[in-house]
Copies of this chain bind each other. A is one copy, B any other.
Amino acid sequence: MSTMKIKLPYVIFLGDVEDKTLVKTGAGLAKWCGDDVLGQLRLASCAVDLGLTELTLTEAIAKGAKSLVIGVATVGGSVKPSWLPTFVQALEAGLDIINGLHTNLSNIPELAEAQQKSSGQIINIRQVTGEFPIATGKKRRGMRLLTVGTDCAVGKKYTALELSLGLNTAGIDATFRATGQTGIMIAGEGLPVDSVVSDFVSGAAELISPDNNADHWDIIEGQGSLFNPSFSAVSLGLLHGSQPDAIIVCHDVARETISTCPDYQLPTLQACIDLHLQCARIVNPTVRCIGISVNTSSLNQDKREEYLQALEQELGLPCVDPLITGCDTLIKELMMQFYPQQTRLAHAEL
């Protein structure tokens, strides 16, 4: 199993960023990993505040920080020279640096040198090393749910996170499986499937959700969409390697065209359910869609309720906004579909 482990706890580095849209990774970590986050480390001219404890590097180390996580993105994924002194000091103090940017930090001479002298490691989430197997398609034990979508960036990661949390709260053994850089930072491990050579994507996806107990659920973070011509290869490789028993289709109500291909209309939700099920049946003939997860943040409350109710009517499936309405109806549907007898007994006991 070739996953990346992040040493906990950590401090989130925000650098000297000026725009809130560039700290999504840091914000995601603050929301989902509060217990692992000691605070934020900001350079003098930083204009963004995540509202976390303000820490210098020395203070973070004194509090037991094991890693410095880069919580800021830059356009193009490059590293700013102004960040390097902090990174060198962190490495010299034995901290790991967790980097989700495209740039490989180990190629920056002063960081490579600092790493060589210390126990601190540079972990480049986006740089996939080592060999992956060719997928075998062999059935693995345990249950798997994959979040899929009408496009990129429509809430597949957050849906999987909310659902994992909800299932655990309901007493069901479930694990969030991260497949992208922010998900990996949140989970502390995972595998960035979009960085794997295409011949091995499905093989890598098989490693992400290995054999498990029969009643254990892997909740796998989806990537891209079969309907996004830029990234559909990643989506199908992940779908076929995951062998999902269930899918949830994610969508953003404000999205009209494919993010990377503005000439392409988004598919209808029914078309999206159908094609994903059809492709998933190749590896798991009993796969089912258990619901729809929509980012409705662009609607006011009345419109949201109206929209979700109409969608439930149309599709005959529970439709939620996981960050606003929660995931309860998705979890109920999953129980009904996969454990009908237990669900009926539980109802009878009420």
Q: Which residues of A contact B (CB under 8 A)?
A: 134-139, 193-199, 201-203, 226-227, 229-237, 240-241, 258, 260-261, 263-264, 267, 275, 278-279, 282-283
**Interfacial chain B residues near A226, Cβ < 8 Å:** 236, 279, 282
Q: Which residue of B lies closest to A274 (CB)?
A: B278
Asked whether A198 and B233 contact (CB < 8 A) given A226-B279, A227-B282, A282-B227, the answer is yes
New A-B pairs, 8, CB < 8 Å, besides A134-B230, A226-B279, A229-B283:
A135-B229, A194-B197, A195-B198, A196-B198, A197-B198, A202-B233, A229-B240, A235-B236
A167 to B33, CA, bound (A): 60
Q: Which residue of B lies closest to A240 (CB)?
A: B229
A330 to B150, CA, bound (A): 36
Write 22 A-B pairs (CB below 8 A) sorted by A numbering: A134-B231, A135-B260, A135-B261, A137-B258, A138-B263, A139-B263, A194-B197, A195-B197, A195-B198, A196-B198, A198-B201, A199-B231, A199-B234, A201-B233, A202-B231, A226-B282, A227-B282, A229-B282, A229-B283, A232-B236, A232-B237, A264-B282
Contact B236 A137 (CB under 8 A): no
Contact A264 B199 (CB under 8 A): no
10 closest pairs, A vs B, by CB? A233-B237, A137-B261, A137-B229, A194-B199, A229-B240, A201-B233, A135-B230, A233-B233, A236-B236, A198-B198
Among B135, B195, B278, B279, contact of A199 (Cβ-Cβ < 8 Å): B195
Q: Which residue of B lies closest to A278 (CB)?
A: B275
A275 to B136, CA, bound (A): 21
A170 to B197, CA, bound (A): 39
Q: Which residue of B lies closest to A192 (CB)?
A: B199
**Interfacial chain B residues near A197, Cβ < 8 Å:** 194-198
Contact A203 B230 (CB under 8 A): yes
A267 to B285, CA, bound (A): 13
Give min CB distance, A186 to chain B, whole Å: 20
**Interfacial chain B residues near A260, Cβ < 8 Å:** 134-137
Contact B282 A234 (CB under 8 A): no
Centre residue among A134, A136, A195, A282 by max chain B CB count within 10 A: A282
**Interfacial chain B residues near A136, Cβ < 8 Å:** 230, 260-261
**Interfacial chain B residues near A137, Cβ < 8 Å:** 229-230, 258, 260-261, 263-264
Among B135, B229, B237, B283, contact of A198 (Cβ-Cβ < 8 Å): B237
A134 to B136, CA, bound (A): 28
**Interfacial chain B residues near A232, Cβ < 8 Å:** 202, 236-237, 240, 279, 282
**Interfacial chain B residues near A193, Cβ < 8 Å:** 198
**Interfacial chain B residues near A275, Cβ < 8 Å:** 278-279
**Interfacial chain B residues near A198, Cβ < 8 Å:** 193-198, 201, 233-234, 237
A194 to B195, CA, bound (A): 13
Give min CB distance, A305 to chain B, whole Å: 32
**Interfacial chain B residues near A264, Cβ < 8 Å:** 137, 282
A267 to B283, CA, bound (A): 12
Give min CB distance, A54 to chain B, whole Å: 36
Contact A233 B234 (CB under 8 A): yes
